[in-house]
Amino acid sequence: MEQPGARITQHRTRRTAPVPRPAAPVGQGRGAPVGRERAGRTPPPLLRALRRDQRQQRDQPVRLTGLGSGLLAVVAMLVAGTVVARLGAGSPVAYGVLFTLCCAVCALGVRPAELVAAPVSAPIAFAAGALPVTAATAGSGGLGGRVMALVGFLSLQAGWLYGGTLLAALIVLGRRVLLVRRRRAEGRAQTRRRPSRPPRSPRRSPAQRARSRH
């Protein structure tokens, strides 16, 4: 026979059995506020500056360094001088036009941090490209004849040299002015985006506070 005490204990255990709670959905619970606080934190200023620079570098086109711009100008003028010496019979006008185009391309392609390299490398490229042109006109005069032909070519075609160098300097100067204006505009936009601080109340002495109370 079943004893009455056993029934009472079973009845009590059934009543006191805990009801299972529904499981919390994903993203809620104790860990949710911590995740929200972490997600809402703003990155440090250094990290934001690095991200801004990376975005600007991605948006900007690929530019040449100062050394790369100079090497490109020298190689391009050597090729141009060789072509002019063989096809144009050493025509100084054709060589001057090609030199002007080369100066413009190098001034537009150099990166903003090394803009001075474009007008500096222009005379070097002009002299390097003049070597094959004067070699065709010097004939068999030896080394001294080639040097004299090069000096004469540079002195007679100084107008093209100064014109190409001046064009590169003007392009570089224009790019510099535009860069400074763009930076100023970005600085003004950042200052406008910052929230303005509320005006602080002037500090009053205890005597003034007592007077205002009365």
Contact in structure between 78 and 129 (CB atoms under 8 Å):
yes
In a domain, 187, yes or no: yes
pLDDT digits (tens, 9 = 90+) for 42-57: 666 667 666 666 666 5
Range scoring the smallest mean pLDDT among 96-100, 126-130, 133-137: 133-137
In a domain, 6, yes or no: no
Range of the domain at 98: 66-191
In a domain, 3, yes or no: no
Is it the case that residue 158 has pLDDT exceeding 70? Answer: yes
Domain count, the chain: 1
Instruction: Please state, in angstroms and rounded to a whole number, the distance separating the CA atoms of residues 56 and 51.
Output: 9
In a domain, 85, yes or no: yes
102 CB neighbour count, 10 Å cutoff: 25
Is it the case that residue 76 has pLDDT exceeding 80? Answer: yes
In a domain, 111, yes or no: yes
In a domain, 153, yes or no: yes
pTM greater than the 0.75 cutoff: no
Top-confidence residue, 134 or 200: 134
Q: How many CA atoms lie within 13 A of 82 on its CB side?
A: 6
Instruction: Please state, in angstroms and rounded to a whole number, the distance separating the CA atoms of residues 104 and 110.
Output: 10
In a domain, 209, yes or no: no
In a domain, 73, yes or no: yes
